[in-house]
């Protein structure tokens, strides 16, 4: 598994490869009536589509906090059991559209941005489905690392109905190392 410098390089390569693509997957819509203040804070990644920049990471979390410039500070963190170390990447996000639509452009390196699209949120802001700019990037998030099977099945159905390959989703372990 890559060390932090490799992780940053991979994230930078990802943003470059996506050409700074900040779009939303075809046929998908971001949540409306979005409330940023309710979304801020800690989220646990419970499932994701596999990518080299997260491969092998466990106990993955994302923390969102308001920045002084009105943007959002993003801190992604995951445990690499192969190296017995935590990997962390810090970035920034800005609304892509109106502030009541859950669409952002996020950057971990310089001028390269990628789409961050909240496709679904429950009313309590406890569970979310987030996509990148296309159907190759998907994350299921929750405020707690354990999600009941009924809610998880519901999230899988929503992802599938939005055109994602839910058979390819991998569960993220949050068991202490």
Q: What is the CA radius of gyration of the chain?
A: 15
Q: Report pTM.
A: 0.87
pLDDT tens for residues 89-148? Answer: 999 999 998 999 999 999 988 788 999 999 999 999 999 999 999 999 999 999 999 999
Domain 4-171: homologous superfamily in CATH: Calycin beta-barrel core domain (2.40.128.20)
> Which DSSP helix (H) or strand (E) runs through 15?
helix 4-17
Instruction: Give dist(CA 78, CA 62) in Å, integer.
Output: 9
Instruction: Give the domain ranges of the chain.
Output: 4-171
Instruction: Give dist(CA 82, CA 120) in Å, integer.
Output: 33
pLDDT tens for residues 17-61? Answer: 444 688 999 999 999 999 999 999 999 999 999 988 899 999 999
The first and second tokens of residue 141, run together, are: 């998030």
């Amino acid at each position: 598994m890559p060390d932090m410098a490799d992780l940053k390089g991979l994230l930078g390569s990802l943003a470059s490869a996506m050409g700074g693509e900040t779009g939303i997957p075809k046929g998908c819509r971001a949540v409306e009536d979005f409330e940023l203040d309710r979304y801020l804070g800690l989220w646990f990644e419970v499932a994701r589509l596999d990518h080299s920049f997260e491969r092998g990471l466990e106990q993955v979390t994302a923390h969102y906090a308001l920045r002084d410039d009105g943007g959002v500070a993003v801190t992604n963190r995951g445990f690499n059991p192969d190296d017995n170390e935590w990997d962390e990447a810090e970035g920034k996000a800005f609304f892509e559209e109106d502030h009541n639509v859950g669409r952002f452009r996020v950057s971990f390196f310089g001028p390269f941005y990628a789409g961050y699209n909240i496709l679904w949120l429950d009313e309590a802001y406890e569970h979310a489905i987030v996509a990148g700019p296309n159907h190759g990037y998907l994350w299921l998030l929750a405020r707690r690392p354990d999600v009941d099977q009924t809610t998880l099945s519901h999230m899988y159905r929503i992802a599938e109905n939005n055109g994602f390959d839910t058979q390819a989703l991998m569960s993220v372990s949050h068991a202490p190392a």
